[in-house]
Amino acid sequence: MATNEDEDASYVDYEAFLDPGFSPSSFANTLVLATNNPTDTPLDLSTPLSKVLFDAQEVDSHIDLLTTRSAIPLLTYTKEQTEASGRIISEIDNQVKSLNESYKQLEKEVIQKHAEADEVRQVAARLWETLKLGRSVGRCLQLGRQLEIQHTEITSSGSGTPSGGSKKEDHRALVRCAHTLLSLREILDKKAPGEEGHGLDRVNAIRSLQEYVIAPIEKSVRSTSEQIIREFNIGSASGTATFAQTEEAKARMISAAVTLYLISPAAGTKPEKWTPQLLLQALEVYLRNALQSSIASLARSLATLPSLDRTLAEVSARCQNIIALEIILAATNAPAHPLLPAHKHNANLLQPLLAYLETGSLASYFWRTMASSLSTRVQEIVNRGGVSARTLKTNRNNVGDAIRECVIRGSQPPSTITATKGKGSKGDTEKSGGWDREVAVMVGSVVGNLGR
């Protein structure tokens, strides 16, 4: 009891020191102010310092007292903790040894085998890539050989020879070549990882195939198809074309048009904006050649009227060929394009051409375009004066009637061509005004520029 009283009588303010808000600087300031006046010039620091030292000695003495008095319990507790730690370490050592042995076994049975299996997986993956590449190369080479055979079917008889020759070309082989070219494009254009054509550009055989087989044959197929379109003629001028010759010309035109439709470039174009560029270019060249020839010959004939009837017959024949072309294209369904699966296909081959030329009829386009160019030619004849201008003015009525008959006759389909539904009865309405606008434009382009 006496000891407890001594502890309680300790003058150390433990509560102040144990306060969570204890501040050494504030405590020191309190001690200095307790032993000095604020106005003292020399401050007495020895008294507060002695107070702090006495407190420290008191705490040190208290610690010595406690440790001396509780030495046996502390040592006993320490011993127990040490023995318990030893037992724990012993148990942990056994567990660590067991864990190390298990890890070694796991490393032997799993990790090493996993490393070996990963090597096998890499080998298998590379073999699979090699196999896929080999299959793609084999398919390309097979298609290349097939393309050569199909191309031989065209060139063996001399492509572009007249259909009436002793040996006919197989124009249907053009379409077969086009489909084979599309199959090759479908493989070679898919170069992304995982796709069929990935890595083919690094194979020498494929590069040689593209350079020496695909590119030349594609160029030949394109030029042959364009030549067939350029040479398209039903023979309506002479009227000597037989039904068999007309059917052969139609079949050749269809094959050439379908071929150019299929091989038109599709890479880098959105499906909804795609157009058969090669077909449109070939047809535009055909129309342009017909227009240029007609304009040049008609301009010469207007200067020398005796040849006008023959020239107008040729012009009407060219327009009949254009109408026959329009009927054939309208009756030919546009083929499905394998490289444009999401593309909304045209109903026929005529639609993209009409949209490209921004017209509703090829015959109307022919007459209107020719009329716009004839006006300048007639003005040149009139401005030059002379016998040609006087003769042309004198016979203006006869010239106007001849041009009117030319437009009406040329706007009717050839007798050997069957018009599609909706066009067959049009020929019966021409004389009653079906082509009045075209007649007025053509007659006006010549007679209207003759003056009085």
Q: What is the pLDDT of residues 409-435, one digit of tens each?
A: 988 888 777 655 444 434 444 443 478
CB 402 within 8 A of CB 312: yes
Model-level pTM?
0.70
In this predicted structure, the answer to whether residue 13 has a pLDDT above a threshold of 90 is no
CB 445 within 8 A of CB 368: no
Kindly report which listed range (1-10, 34-43, 162-171, 239-248) carries the lowest average pLDDT score. 1-10
Eight-state DSSP code of residue 266:
-
Distances (CA, A) of 94 to 87, 103, 311: 11, 14, 115
Q: What average pLDDT does the segment 3-9 reach?
A: 49
Chain-centroid distance of CA 363 in Å reads 36
CA–CA separation, 346 and 342 (whole Å)? 13
In this predicted structure, the answer to whether residue 160 has a pLDDT above a threshold of 60 is no
Residue 419's pLDDT is: 59
Burial bucket for residue 327 (CB in 10 Å: 0-12, 13-18, 19+): buried
Q: Mapping DSSP to helix (H, G, I), strand (E, B) and coil, where does residue 333 land?
A: strand
Q: What average pLDDT does the segment 424-450 reach?
A: 69
Residue of higher predicted confidence among 411 and 235? 411
Question: 216 falls in which pLDDT band (50, 70, 90)?
Answer: very high
Could you tell me which residues come within 8 angstroms of residue 232 by beta carbon, excluding any fewer than 6 positions away?
A: 249, 252, 253, 286, 321, 325
Question: 156 falls in which pLDDT band (50, 70, 90)?
Answer: low
CB 356 within 8 A of CB 275: yes
Residue 166's pLDDT is: 43
In this predicted structure, the answer to whether residue 75 has a pLDDT above a threshold of 50 is yes
Tell which residue, 202, 211, 207, has the closest CA to residue 129.
Answer: 202
Residue 420's pLDDT is: 53
Chain-centroid distance of CA 7 in Å reads 93
Residue of higher predicted confidence among 366 and 189? 366
Residue of higher predicted confidence among 14 and 262? 262
In this predicted structure, the answer to whether residue 164 has a pLDDT above a threshold of 90 is no
CB 253 within 8 A of CB 326: no
CB 294 within 8 A of CB 370: yes
CA–CA separation, 132 and 126 (whole Å)? 10
Compute the half-sphere exposure of residue 337: CA atoms within 13 Å on the CB side of its CA: 28
**Bridge partners for 333 per DSSP:** 348
Of 31-45, 99-113, 139-153, where does the model show the most confidence? Answer: 139-153
Q: Let me know the angle formed at the C-alpha of 198 by 139 and 340, rounded to the nearest 5 degrees.
A: 75
- The runs of H, that is alpha helices, within 19-171 are 24-35, 46-69, 71-106, 112-155
Of 29-38, 231-240, 377-386, where does the model show the most confidence? Answer: 377-386
Phi then psi for residue 333, to 5 deg, are: -70, 140
Tokens 């502390």 belong to residue = 74
CA–CA separation, 10 and 22 (whole Å)? 20
End-to-end CA distance of the chain: 152
Q: What's the one-letter identity of residue 25?
A: S
Mean pLDDT (the chain) is: 83
Hey, what are 385's tokens? 């004066």
CB 363 within 8 A of CB 320: no
In this predicted structure, the answer to whether residue 7 has a pLDDT above a threshold of 70 is no
CA–CA separation, 93 and 108 (whole Å)? 22
Residue 344's pLDDT is: 62
Residue 29's pLDDT is: 85
CA–CA separation, 128 and 279 (whole Å)? 41
Residue 353's pLDDT is: 93
Distances (CA, A) of 131 to 124, 246, 331: 10, 51, 46
Phi then psi for residue 348, to 5 deg, are: -150, 180
Q: What average pLDDT does the segment 56-60 reach?
A: 84
CB 31 within 8 A of CB 46: no
Q: What is the pLDDT of residues 279-292, one digit of tens each?
A: 999 999 999 999 99
